[in-house]
Structure 1
Amino acid sequence: MIFITLGSQKFQFDRLLKEIDKLVVAKKLNDEIFAQVGYSTYKPKHYQYKAFLDREEFAKCEGKADIVITHGGTGAIIGAVKKGKKVIAVPRLARYGEHVDDHQTQLIAQFKEQNLICGLDDVRQIEKGLEFVKTHLFNAYQSNTKLIIDSIENFIEGTNK
């Protein structure tokens, strides 16, 4: 299953939803697809969607998914990567009214550089991204939270390990 999640900020990402519809119509994508479309104005015609999901619905959809397609939001990416999902991330771009600036391009580049996700520059690359994630081995996400906490505890205790 492919789960598309576009977050809950007040920005549309119609380009991505339309591209997925095009791939379905062209029979280049025949997986089960479900999208959380957020504030997008385009409503998918060839796969199921809902504007917003509660936590339980979101967890269920993400849990069933083999592949998660998302925007360049840090939370959406890290959440899926932590669960071992293959992630395709495409940045929302300011010139299309999808965000206030293009910071998502840098976020995606950093995750891609760490070999955690398939980062794309444009929605028209989704078909290639889907082919890529089916065979590519990504690095497992490793949180550095424990390292930071240990470092703070060592500092407080004065042991400076």
Structure 2
Amino acid sequence: MAKAKINKNSLEFPRESRRTLKPSYDPETFGRWSERFARFLGTSRFLVYMTTFVLFWVTWNSLAPDNLKFDNYPFIFLTLILSLQASYAAPLILLAQNRQTDRDRVQNKEDRERNEQNLADTEYLTRELASLRTAIGEVTTREYLHGEIADAIEEIVQKINKKP
């Protein structure tokens, strides 16, 4: 039994990934991570952690013996770390805000469409209600029917009385 030749260029098989030096990442995963990071930066927990870290750094480098200090008084290394943290935090916060803006835009569009549908439904129901009111105006009511029957009976009685 002969084996059939497999055509790797057909659509049944995925293409092999090409190696590249350009890093690849999932923008959605990175976006979710940036939102969590931005949310954390806005918490009191982050402020407590940063305050504790800076106080420890300054206290250690001020009161520790000279041979154990790693960043003397102007605290250049601390300044560098805080600047680096700020330089990464700002774009991540902006990315999180852009994602929130996109979600808000989609939500607003859906709300507008829902409002338009509700308005159309309300107008339809208003027209139906108006047509029902018109139809009810043409429907025979109990009082009208009683009056017509009474008139018919009276007419019949008069015709019977006129016969000799």
Compute the TM-score of the two structures, normalised by the length of structure 2: 0.22
Higher helix share: 2
